[in-house]
Amino acid sequence: MKLAYYPGCSLSSTGIEFGMSAPVLAKALGLELWEIPEWNCCGSSSAHVTDHNLALALPARNLAIAEEAGLDVVVPCAACYARLKAAEAAVRSSRRTKEEIEKIIDRKYEAKITVRSLLDIIYTEIGPAKIREKVLRPLEGLRVAAYYGCLLVRPPKVAQFEDPENPVSMDRLLSAAGAEPVDWGYKTECCGGGHPTISPEFGLKILKPIYEEARYAGADCFVTACPMCFTNLDMRQKEVGKQHGTVYNLPVFYITELLGLALGFEARELGINRHLVNALPLLKHKGLLHPVKGGRE
Amino acid sequence: MERVNLSRELLHAPEVSRELKEHYGIDITRCYQCGKCSAGCPVSFAMDYMPRQIIRLLQLGMKEQALRSKTIWLCAFCDTCSTRCPREVDIHGVMEILRLEAKARGYITHKHNNIFHGIFLQLVKRLGRVHEGGLIVLFNFLSLQPFKDVLYGLPLFLKGKLHILPELVRDRGEVKKIFKRARSEGGVSK
Amino acid sequence: MKRVGVFICHCGTNIAQTVDCEKVAKMAGGLPQVAFSTDYKYMCSEPGQQVIINAVKEHRLDRVVVASCSPRMHEPTFRKTLEKAGLNPYLLEMANIREQCSWVHQDKEKGTAKAFDLVKMAVAKVLKNEPLSRSSIPIHKRALVIGGGIAGIQAALDIADAGYVVDIVEKEPTIGGRMAQIDKTFPTMDCSACILTPKMVDAASNPNINLLTYCEVEKVDGYVGNFDVTIRHKARSVDMNKCTGCGTCWEKCPTRVASEFDMGLGTRKAIYTPFPQAVPNKPVIDRENCLYFKTGKCGVCQKVCPTGAVDYTQEDRLETVRYGAIVVATGFDLFDESVYGEYGYGRYPDIISGLHFERMINASGPTMGKIKRPSDHTEPKTVVFVKCVGSRDEAKGKPYCSKTCCMYTAKHATLVREKIKDSQAIVFYMDVRTPGKNYDEFYQRAVNEYGVQYVRGRVSKIYQSHGKLIVRGEDTLLGRPVEVEADMVVLATAMVARGDAGELARKLGISYDQHDFFTEAHPKLRPVETHTAGVYLAGTCQGPKDIPDSVAQASAAAAKVCALLSREEMPTEPVVSAVNEAVCSGCGLCISICPYKAIELKTISERVHGKTRERQVASVNTGLCQGCGACTVACRSGALNLKGFTNEQILAEVDALCL
């Protein structure tokens, strides 16, 4: 399956682990990724909250390039996915919007191709059963809180592939990889987006119950598909714990890192050594860092 | 609390509803004030008006107060409200529209928020992509809190998560032009 | 030369404010063959009708056009007027200048012009009208009630008391319906079973009532006065004549399954009666779960039955019975709460529906009347009630109010406070709607005397943490988000139509709304009739209602049935389709198009070139035909024509407007 690949800005910086693990996993699963040449930033929430035109035009340029190549677009980052998907929906729903956007980007874009999240592709096109077959290093004993956040599931009319209240794709994929997903109530609660960075005075309050609920549910770690969720949960964890006199010690993973690990890739090539909440001791403790016999190259 | 002169405020109500309905397809008159939006909102604890109350202000024609609220700047755009609304009112959309208008009028009740998004877009305009290191440095500088999160800087850098130099899109002119044209187009109808 | 009279109604100011009635009357006077025209303030009033009668006599009118409102309401009125004036009632045409002119236009000049156009068309049509006469059909004096809940039972009792034979078809093994599942009834807190079971017994012992339990309606043919209904008697595997209801079989049966009657909170056997007071108190075998039917082994019930009533060889049996009238009283289902992912129904066992709660507080229910959490059987201390789950939620497809939840939630909350002394009962609500007699007093008592806490706001999310159900809402009166740590949550789920309502409606030829509730003929003036003559509605199959409303509607439906059955025969509407046999090719297209199954093929013999030959032509059953006209459009040879709306008449109207 050949897809146009939109990595987005975070995947080479704060979300470097995602940027490393996504292509590695995709290749192992037989996905051929063609990185959109000269892609630009999707505008993120900054364009979204400041300028309607820009919020649609910035993602539309990338989609126009992919459409020219005739490929559906796959996006690992949930935040970029939401912006690209919104542009696709806007252009599909109104002829006038399509024309306005085409004028702004000075390219033809008819939304003939479809934007899909990498998670959707892995879950729907490849599926847990295939993953189970390919597992070389079962994630046995790893209790995971699958954290979907907002952008993968909402608005349901745009995001489409998952249940907005009780999504299951990451849980099922992780089960297939041998991990134990925990049932918890915060799967789709918001991480606060930019608030923990912009306004920590109340932004950090949004994060606290997420750690608390995951810990209560018995999770060893989080798994997510969103660099914003990841960064908030990973970078702010120590600080929030300190404020409340506790240490959570809940490493955060991208879904691609854990699936990659299960498929036998080494932690380093997936970027797992780069987390702020050090994930290696947990993996070591669970016996998940051992080399795989006859494993990956 | 000051008494609201409803007979005066209500004169604006039809206009406020009509504008939202005609330009954005959002019908605030459908809201029956159940509060499901506010109950699920992750930021409501920090707001001056519940999201539901913002809709109420608009229903009563009191748009000016809605525009001057903190709420519209605190919305995280997580879309929980719109997803769960039993009357299918796009509350998230209302927040977006109000924030744009508030910004245009210079009612900025949350300066850091405004600064952050401003820098972000400047970087995209100049580089085509966001340089997260530059974003944080500039944000701290312009929001007059130079040492905010400074402790995270070194570890992030060492983990290869922040780069000194930005990644660039080669033909940055194209992105710049998009900015120019987008801004001159005026509002895109939803 | 015909003599048409035209009468323009003002409808007070309803029409006159947008239509210059006097002018229309004057212009109509100039139309060909119009002998008289006038206008009047209220044409439908007694003196208004007298104006018509006098004019007919004075001006020797032979046809009448009334320009007023929709014919739906007053066509019968003016037809009677014509009869009084000595004219055939079908020599009347109405022009609807109210709904089609004054109510939709503001410009008086344009309204007047359009009114005149409509009058012109009516005049052109009435000139082509032929006198039509009604025929009559016999009435078969037996009634069918579909559904044996409280509405069906009440309707059957009333019909039977009037002296007519009535059959109740009930798909469950017992009558009683939803009311049998309910513990107490508001606002009196009567024991539901105590007031229902005597009625069930009355129905069983009434010589005019036949209980056809474990039966379903398979097919409905015929028409008012003469419905031929095919009933499926599902195989009970128990001979009703031999069984004494002693109960040995279900005591000994080794298979336990979740009890539907107890909403899965308790169990029943594979051979069972749904509840101890079942009527008839004779069991059926649930073949899907019975060991004998699944594996061929067991057979315990047959061995222990002292009368040899268990019969594994029984098969479904079909029976066709003729009825004069049908009452539909099939009741409701509960909304599927799992649609609310945010409420976690189905994920968390301690979130239950109101009907589960009814079974739980029932003294003979699965918990012997003790309120217990399904998860760990402990007594909940904090119980949250969530109203309008499904109801009034357009996003979930049910915009309507289910009407009963405000009261039963007040009842449930009261019972929690009464039965668990140190408990908290918290109700999340949007509005409290208690318009029934003594209803608001009941709600106020829940608040003031029983200390039930009402919080105005719709719950956004429920999730489980630390052994509690965390319920998040906004107290909209306070304007702040609130959270309750609950032990149990009761969802007041919406009443929805039965899953098979659409299918039954199609069998009966009655209409149903977008939510699959059966539609009454008129929301105010014909609330128990359907658009199909001889079929009546009772209870929640027509829309959400509580027990008093269901009973009242059932008695009303029964009165309608009795009025129909009291007649020997009834006149039929002559506006029906007619076949020109000479032109009909017998293709049968009309048969498939007719929604009332009113057309069939018949064989005629005719002489062609001196020889007699047989061929098939369409034939319209005038008892079934509702005059919809679908066949006339479908007929390729133009052999079908609707009396009163012939192709000629319609074309005359078009010509009048366009030429």
**pLDDT digits over A263-289, tens only?**
999 999 999 999 999 999 999 999 999
User: What are B's interface residues with C at a Cβ cutoff of 8 A?
Assistant: 32-41, 44-45, 50, 52-53, 80, 84-88
Please tell me the distance from the alpha carbon of residue C598 to that of residue C595, in angstroms, as a whole number: 8
| Residues β-bridged to residue C611 | C608
From the candidates A11, A14, A101, A191, which should be mutated to test the interface with B, based on the most B CB atoms within 10 A?
Answer: A14
C463–A185 C-beta distance less than 8 A:
yes
% of chain B surpassing 70 pLDDT: 96
Would you say C203 and C285 are in contact if contact means Cβ atoms under 8 Å apart?
no
CA contacts within 13 A on the Cβ side of C606: 12
Please tell me the distance from the alpha carbon of residue C625 to that of residue A228, in angstroms, as a whole number: 67
Partner chains of B (3+ C-beta pairs under 8 Å): A, C
B160–A274 C-beta distance less than 8 A:
yes
B39–C430 C-beta distance less than 8 A:
no
A183–C341 C-beta distance less than 8 A:
no
Å from A1 to nearest chain B CA? 27
| pLDDT given for residue B190 in this prediction | 38
- The length of chain B in residues reads 190
A213–C465 C-beta distance less than 8 A:
yes
| pLDDT given for residue C11 in this prediction | 95
B34–C457 C-beta distance less than 8 A:
yes
Position B117 pLDDT exceeds 90: no
**SS3 of chain C: helix, strand, coil, percent, to 5:** 30, 30, 40
- The segments of chain C whose pLDDT lies below 50 read none
Residues 122-181 of A with CB under 8 A from C: 163-166
Please tell me the distance from the alpha carbon of residue C334 to that of residue C339, in angstroms, as a whole number: 12
B117 closest CB neighbour out of A46, A164, A200:
A46
What is the distance of C-alpha C154 from the center of its chain? Answer: 16
First to last CA, chain A: 22
From the candidates C456, C476, C480, which should be mutated to test the interface with B, based on the most B CB atoms within 10 A?
Answer: C476
Partners of residue A186 in chain C, C-beta under 8 Å: 463
Å from C353 to nearest chain A CA? 20
pLDDT confidence band for B127 (50 / 70 / 90): confident
Position B184 pLDDT exceeds 70: no
Which are the contacts of C74, defined by CB distance < 8 A and separation ≥ 6?
C44, C66, C68, C94
B129 closest CB neighbour out of A9, A189, A190:
A9
Structure tokens at A278: 């050090």
Which are the contacts of C311, defined by CB distance < 8 A and separation ≥ 6?
C237, C238, C239
Q: pLDDT digits over C599-619, tens only?
A: 999 999 988 888 999 999 999
B130–A9 C-beta distance less than 8 A:
yes
B162–A14 C-beta distance less than 8 A:
yes
Residues 15-54 of A with CB under 8 A from B: 16, 38-41, 43-54
CA contacts within 13 A on the Cβ side of C507: 18
- H/E element holding A23? helix A16-28
Å from B3 to nearest chain A CA? 31
Please tell me the distance from the alpha carbon of residue A192 to that of residue C450, in angstroms, as a whole number: 41
| pLDDT given for residue A161 in this prediction | 83
How deeply is B68 buried, as exposed, middle or buried, from its count of CB atoms within 10 A (0-12, 13-18, 19+)? Answer: middle
Å from A113 to nearest chain C CA? 29
| pLDDT given for residue B188 in this prediction | 41
A1: contact with B, CB 8 A cutoff = no
Please tell me the distance from the alpha carbon of residue B174 to that of residue A107, in angstroms, as a whole number: 10
| pLDDT given for residue B109 in this prediction | 83
Partners of residue C473 in chain B, C-beta under 8 Å: 35-36, 39
Please tell me the distance from the alpha carbon of residue C456 to that of residue C451, in angstroms, as a whole number: 16
Å from B124 to nearest chain C CA? 37
C-beta neighbour count of C1 within 10 angstroms: 6
- H/E element holding C67? strand C63-68
- Residue, of B184 and B2, whose pLDDT is higher: B2
C476–B35 C-beta distance less than 8 A:
yes
B33–C481 C-beta distance less than 8 A:
no
Question: Number of CB pairs < 8 Å for A and B?
Answer: 178
B50–C456 C-beta distance less than 8 A:
no
Would you say A73 and A118 are in contact if contact means Cβ atoms under 8 Å apart?
no
| Residues β-bridged to residue C48 | none
Please tell me the distance from the alpha carbon of residue C546 to that of residue A135, in angstroms, as a whole number: 58
Would you say A238 and A252 are in contact if contact means Cβ atoms under 8 Å apart?
no
From the candidates C460, C472, C484, which should be mutated to test the interface with B, based on the most B CB atoms within 10 A?
Answer: C460
B45–C457 C-beta distance less than 8 A:
no
How deeply is C228 buried, as exposed, middle or buried, from its count of CB atoms within 10 A (0-12, 13-18, 19+)? Answer: middle
Position B139 pLDDT exceeds 60: yes
Q: pLDDT digits over B33-67, tens only?
A: 999 999 999 999 999 999 999 999 999 999 999 99
Partners of residue B32 in chain C, C-beta under 8 Å: 392, 430
Position B186 pLDDT exceeds 70: no
Which are the contacts of C428, defined by CB distance < 8 A and separation ≥ 6?
C384, C385, C386, C387, C455, C456, C457, C458, C459, C471, C473
Q: pLDDT digits over A95-126, tens only?
A: 999 999 999 999 999 999 999 999 999 999 99
| pLDDT given for residue B126 in this prediction | 84
| pLDDT given for residue C599 in this prediction | 93
Classified as helix, coil or strand, A213 is helix
Q: What is the largest CA-CA distance in chain A?
A: 58
% of chain A surpassing 70 pLDDT: 99
Long-range own/partner contacts, residues B140-144 (CB < 8 A, 24 or more apart): B142/B115, B143/B111, B143/B112, B143/B115, B143/B116
Q: Give the Å distances, CA to CA, from B41 to A44, A204, B46, B177, B183.
A: 21, 15, 10, 37, 31
Please give the DSSP secondary-structure letter assigned to residue B46: G
| pLDDT given for residue C625 in this prediction | 87
B45 closest CB neighbour out of A97, A205, A275:
A205
Identify the residue whose tokens are 């749904």. C274
B43–A202 C-beta distance less than 8 A:
yes
Would you say C93 and C125 are in contact if contact means Cβ atoms under 8 Å apart?
yes
B52 closest CB neighbour out of C342, C393, C474:
C474
Mean pLDDT of chain C: 95
Structure tokens at C577: 């389709």
| pLDDT given for residue C428 in this prediction | 98
| pLDDT given for residue A48 in this prediction | 82
